[in-house]
Structure 1
Amino acid sequence: MTQNLERAGTPAPAPPPSSPPPPAGPPDRRGVRVWMILLVLSTVAVFAYVLPPYLGLDPAKATVPLPPEFPTKYAMLVGHILFGSIAMVTMCLQVWPWLRREHPAIHRRSGRLYVFAGVLPSVVLSFYLLVTSFGGPGWVGRASLAALWFITTLVGYVRARQRRYQEHRRFMIYSFALTMEALSGRLLANGLMLAMGMTPGEIPTEQAAAMMTAAEASAWLGWVVNLMIAAWWLDGRGSRRKPGAKTKAGTGTVRGPAATAPSS
């Protein structure tokens, strides 16, 4: 009985320590390839839709109104499309993980092209185009898009120059989301018109109000939804950050295995 009491008072042996979690496996390269292929195909689709009417430099084929009181609008429109096309091509290079990892110098040079030969001149010309269509359908949404596109891209570039790479990547991902409005905005506009029984490009006068509603909605949803997806993706990436990564308070720079240095 004494032995039983001694056994009863003996604490249970501690369970063996749990084994450490398995190390993170290599990135899903197949998923990255699929993502890059879809991005390139989307960019080609935008070019196929936007560029043909302007290849011959014929103002009569322009897809937007050209009021006679703004004789330089066509030239500004062609420049906006040209610089926007450069932004989309260099954007594909910027988000390519293999290029960023294996050839950082090319990543930096294409990043400068993205900023100074793509986004910024395209945005500046878009402000002129907005002036020529002041008060039209979707004007406020497009003006907000242009302002945010300019700000996120410029701040992302400045953060790279400051070597605050985590903030640089965050703002450049937002810039990427706004660049992709060239695709999502057109898909939404045409989709809304088809849902309302209209054929894009052939809008009867009695359906002008419905067309303006579709234009207003797509001018906002085309980039707001993109930003929401980008924010969701960034938050998800942050929650899966490796435990060894530490962020300096107030700087946004990272020390540890999660640190990266993709500067534009």
Structure 2
Amino acid sequence: MNSSERMAPEQVARLALAITATAEVLGQSLTADAAEMMAGDLAEYPAEVVAGALKACRRELVGKLTLAAILQRVQAADGRPGKDEAWAIAMNTNDEFETVVLTDEIQLALAAAKPVLDAGDKVGARMAFISAYERFVGQAREDAKPVNWHVSVGFDASRRIQAVTKAVEMKRIPQERGRLYLADLSVTPVTEDGRAVVALLTGEVARPSPKLRAKLAAVKTSMLEMQSASAKRKDEMRIEAANELADRRAMLVQQAKELEAMRAAQ
């Protein structure tokens, strides 16, 4: 969050009064200077988020009102998932067909845990991921950076639409950006041949041209051959799938390195 988004002076003054009133509700006497200092420290966060944090403090705290208690609730409202949900999201990138919506911190932590994950130690990879994730989230919150969700596109077109739609419903992606993603990821076949290609996958009836009919027959034959592939060929297919997954992970790691470099330059 940049300085232009800081609260206006009149908002900071109202916040100081709200902090004083909250302390009184909790049975605490707070000086005007202390309240103003706390308000100044909280001024870089959205006013409505801080107001919500103060409300949560009034309901939840049984001791004194502290800046740390307010910040804890402010930061919890920033939209970043907890460490367990973040790990589950990161593991979805193991499926190259899956479209994954993840935060900058998840991507950075996944890159940090990749060597352990590649070694086959999933328990150790989870520990390394969580340690790195909490560090990156802590730094982002200290810098008052808003959460940034972005899309890692998988091969399955239907899953792309589902992932983006869910992210919009969960308000992780703004509706306008979600519409742009869907426009980029959705391709509707408009020709008879295009519909015939879809029909091969969906089982719908279509009338392909003679030229495309021959191509579809070749594809169907190839699919049947794959179904009856030898053990050796199936092993080769598994290796090919593993290589594709490695390529996806490598791309995510490269993006994470670029993201970390941009953060360091800020």
By relative contact order (CA 8 Å, sep 6+), the higher-ranking structure is: 1
Under a length normalisation based on structure 1, what TM-score does the superposition of the two structures give?
A: 0.24
